[in-house]
Structure 1
Amino acid sequence: AQLDNEFYTARNSLIPAEVDVTQEVDEAYEKLKKSGRLPEGVPREKIIARLTEDRKAWKRAAVPGQPLIWEFQNVKPLDLNQSLFIRFKYDVSVNPPDLQVYSRWAVGDDRQYPPDVEIFDRKDTIRTFCEIEVPANVVAEDGYLAVGFLNVPLNNTVVIFPPEDGLEVLYQADTFIANFIRAVLLILFRLIFLACLGILASTFLSFPVAILLCLVILFTATVSGFVIESFDFLSENISGVYSYTIKPIIRLLPQFDKFNPNTFLVPARLLSWSEVAKVAVFPPWWGCGGDMICIKAVLLLLLAVLIFSFREIARIII
C-alpha cells in the first residue's frame, strides 16, 4: 500500500500561497535607515531581499500555543475513498532536548460549526520530512481544504515552517500509467530535437565533427538552467559581457534540466498535459516557462533542408 501511495501514483502538489510582505519590508527598511542601522557597503536590493526572507519566515512561525492555518482551493482527489498526505518539515529557534516537536493538526473543512475536520496529535523529529495520511473525503465538495497546526505549549520553542519546503498537500490526481506515458513523451521530444540537430549538422560538417557538435549541445542543454542562473552571481562588468554574448545563445537551446522526467516519476509527482504542451510548443516569452522543443526541432529541420538544397551532391560528367 505504501508503494502504491508513494511511487505507483501521480500526486499533485499544493503549497501555501505566498504572503505579500512588501509593505512590512518597506517599513522595516525605512526604520533601519532612520536609525542609522543599515549595513555599510551592502546594496539596497540585498537588504530588501534579506528582510523579505525574514518576514516570510516569520509569517510561517508559531510561538508556543499559537495556531497556524493554511487554506487550499481546487483540491480534487482522483478517488475520495483513498488518502491525501500533508507533507511538512519543522525548523525551530531552540532545539528540544530530544530533537522532537509535539503538535496538533486539524485537516478538513473549518467553515462550518462544528468544523468537519480530522484531528492528529503527533510528535515528529525536527528538520526531517514527515507525512500525515488523511482520508481524502475530508475535502469539501467545492475543493476547499484547511490545514491547521498548533504549536503545543509543551514545546517551549518557536516552530518554523521553511518557505521553500515547509508544507505541502499531496493527493492522487492521475494514474501512474498516464503519468509514465507523459514522461516518455518528454524523452521523445529530446530525441526529436537531437535527430533534427544531427540532420542539420550532417549537411555542412564531417561525421566526427557533427558528432562532437551534437554531444556539446546535448551537454550544454542538460545544464543550461544552471549556466543561465550562474550569470546572476558574476560581477556587473563581467555579467554585462556574458549577458549580450553567451547568455542569448544558451537561451536558444532547450533546457533539458528544467523538464527532467525523473523529477516527476521518482517522487510520484503529477506531470500534467499542460506541462507537456509547455515543453513541446509554448515559447518562454509567454510567461508560462515554456521551452518549445518541437518548434526548435522543426526550425533545425527546415534549416537543414535549406542548406541541403544548395549542396551539390554529384556532378554529371559526359
Structure 2
Amino acid sequence: MANIWVIARNTIAHAMRMKLALVVIALLLVILPVLSVITTGDGTLLGKVQSFSSYGISLVSMMLCLMAVAISCYSLNFELKYKQLYMLVTKPVSRSEILLGKFVGLMVVNVLLLALFCSIIYAITVNMPRFSDTTAEDTQRVETEFFAARAGVKPRPPIEEEKLQSLALERYNRLKNADELPQGSTVDEVFRIIRGQIIMQAKSLGPGEDFVWRFSNVYPSDEAETIFVRFKLTAVTSAGSDGIATQWIAGDLRKLEEGKRPDFPVYYSDIRRDPTRTARELQIPANVVAEDGYLEIGMQNLHYNQVTIIPEDVEVLYKRGGFGMNFFRACVIILVRLTFLTAMGVSFSTWLSFPVAIFVAITIYFIGTVNGFIFDSLELLSSSMGLLYTFTIKPLLSLMPKFDGRFNPSPMIVSARMIEWSFVGLNILATAVARSLVLIGLGILVFNRKEIARITV
C-alpha cells in the first residue's frame, strides 16, 4: 500500500505540472464566471439559471473527461518513452502496484478538480437570483421549478393493451384484404406502425375535444406544496402566434364521473395559452391528489382554436428533495465517468502507443455520449439487418459505458428531476466498479508480461 501511495503522489505531481491540466484549469476558471453573465436563456430568471447550469455542468464534464483520457494515456507512455520507468521496475515494487498507483494518483486529481469546479457552479447558481433584477414571482418560480428535486410519474397508457392489440389486428386485416400493406415491410414493422397510428389518434384532440390522463402512485411530500403537470403541445397545422388555448381540470374525478361529490378538492384552471413544441408546466395544488396516490388530469382543446393538437410527454412532477443533494448526486455521476475513463486510459497505455491509446479512448468516450441514441436507432432496422445487429454491434454497445439519457446529469438538474441514490449506486457498480476493474485487471495482466527493456550481454 505504501508503494502505491508513493507512485500516486508522483503521478499527482506529474499531472499537475502538465500544460494540458493547467490550460483546462485556467479555461474553466475564466469561462464559468463569464458564462454566468452572458447566458440569458429565454430571458427569464428561470431560463438564465437553467442555461448556466446546463452549459456549466456539460462543459466541466466534457473538459475533465477529455483531460482524464489524455493524462491517463500519456502518463505511463511518457515514463516508458523516456526510460524513467526502468529504474522503478528494478526496485521492490510490483508492476501491479505501479498501475494501481497511477490510477489512484489520477483519481485524486479528478476528485480535486471536479470538487473545485462543481463548487464554483453550485455557488454561482444558488446566488444568481440575488444578483438578478427580477420580481418576487420570478424568484418563486425558480425556487419551485429549479431549486428542487422532483419525482416524475407517467400516466397510464391512453389505450389498454388488449384493446390496442385488437384494434391493430383489425386494421392490419383490413389493409391486408385491400392489398394495401406497405411493400418490403415485415409483419412486425407493419404492426409497429399501426399501433403508433392508433395511439396518436387516441391522443389527438380536435377543437372542443378533451382528454383525461390517469396517474397512480403520486405522493407529494407536503400537501401545502404545489405539484406540476409537464406537457408539450404539437399542432397538426399552424397554430398562430398566440399559441393554443386550453383549460385544465385536476383531482380525483372517479366520484365526479359517477355523479357523486368527490372526497378531495378539484382544481379548475383559467384559460391559458401555450406555444407549440415547447415543454410547459402547469402548477396545481397538491391537495387534489387522493390518499391512495390517484390523480386525474383533464385538458380541453377549446373550440375556438380551430386546430387539432396532440399533447405529448405529459407527466406529473412533485417535490421529493432539495437542490443541494441532487446536485451532489449529479457530480457523483460525473465522477463515475472519470473513473471509467481513467481506468481505460491507464489500461490502454500498457499495450498501445500514446496516439493509438488516446484515439481509441476518445472514440469510446464519444460513443458513450450517444450510446442510447445508437441503440434506439438500430432497433428500427429491418429484420435481416436487425439480426446482424443483434449478434454483432449490440453486444459491443452493451459493453460500452452509457453517458447519455438518464446517465447524463445535466438535463436532470435543468428540469429539477430527482436523481435517485439507487440509480447512482447501480451506475457506480456497473461502470466505476465492474467495467473499471476489468480494464485495470487487463492492464495489469498485459503489463506483467510486457518486456520493458531488452537484456543484452
Give the TM-score band, short-chain normalised: 0.7 to 0.9
Q: Distance in 2 between matches of 1:315 and 1:36?
A: 75
How many pairs align?
A: 306
Structure 1 segment 58-207 matched on structure 2, within 5 A: 58-93=201-236, 95=238, 100-112=243-255, 113-115=260-262, 116-127=265-276, 128-162=278-312, 165=313, 167-207=314-354
| 1:52 partner SS | helix
CA deviations on 1:270-295 (whole Å, 9 max, x unpaired) are 111222133223xxxxxxxxx54421
What residue number does 2:433 align with? 294
Relative to structure 1, is the Cα distance of residues 120 and 192 closer, same or farther in structure 2, using a 3 angstrom cutoff?
same
Q: CA deviation at 1:230?
A: 4.4
Structure number with the higher strand fraction is: 1
**Who is 1:304 aligned against?**
443
The one-letter code sitting in structure 1 at the alignment partner of 2:288 is: V
Q: Distance in 2 between matches of 1:235 and 1:28?
A: 22
Determine the structure 1 residue equivalent to 2:45. none
CA distance in 2, matches of 1:74, 1:276: 22
Unaligned runs of 5+ in 1: 282-290
- The answer to whether 1:268 aligns with 2:416 is yes
1:92 and 1:219 map into 2 onto residues whose CA distance is: 35
Q: Report the aligned-residue RMSD.
A: 3.0
1:218: how far off? 2.0
Deviation per CA, 1:55-99: give whole Å up to 9, x if none. Answer: 101222334444322121111223322211112233345556665
The alignment-based identity, stated in percent, is 36
Look up the match of 2:14: none
Structure 2 SS opposite 1:254? coil
Residue equivalent to 1:50? 193
SS in 2 for 1:89: strand
Distance 2:153 2:410 in 1: 19
Shift of 1:246: 4.3
Q: Cα gap change, 1:122/1:130 in structure 2, threshold over 3 Å: closer, same or farther?
A: farther
Residue 449 of structure 2 aligns with an amino acid whose one-letter code is: F
Aligned to 1:28: 171
8 A contact 1:254–1:293 mirrored in 2: no
Listed as ranges, the matches of 1:219-298 within 5 Å are 219-232=366-379, 243-258=390-405, 259-281=407-429, 292-298=431-437
Counterpart in the other structure of 2:129: none
Decide whether aligned partners of structure 1 residues 222 and 97 sit closer, same or farther in structure 2, where only a CA change above 3 A counts: closer
- For the 8 Å contact 1:110–1:146, the answer to whether it is kept is yes
Contact 1:92–1:126 (CA under 8 A) maintained in structure 2:
no
- Structure with the largest fraction of helix: 2
Change (3 A) 1:63 1:235: closer
Preserved CA contact (<8 Å) 2:155 2:216:
no
**Matching residue of 1:284:** none
The more displaced of 85-94 and 186-195 is 85-94
**Comparing 176-185 and 57-66, the one that deviates more:** 57-66
Structure 2: which 5+ residue stretches go unaligned? 1-139
Match of 2:269, SS state, is strand
Which residue number corresponds to residue 74 of structure 2? none
Distance 2:237 2:349 in 1: 63
Counterpart Cα distance in 1 of 2:452 and 2:269: 75
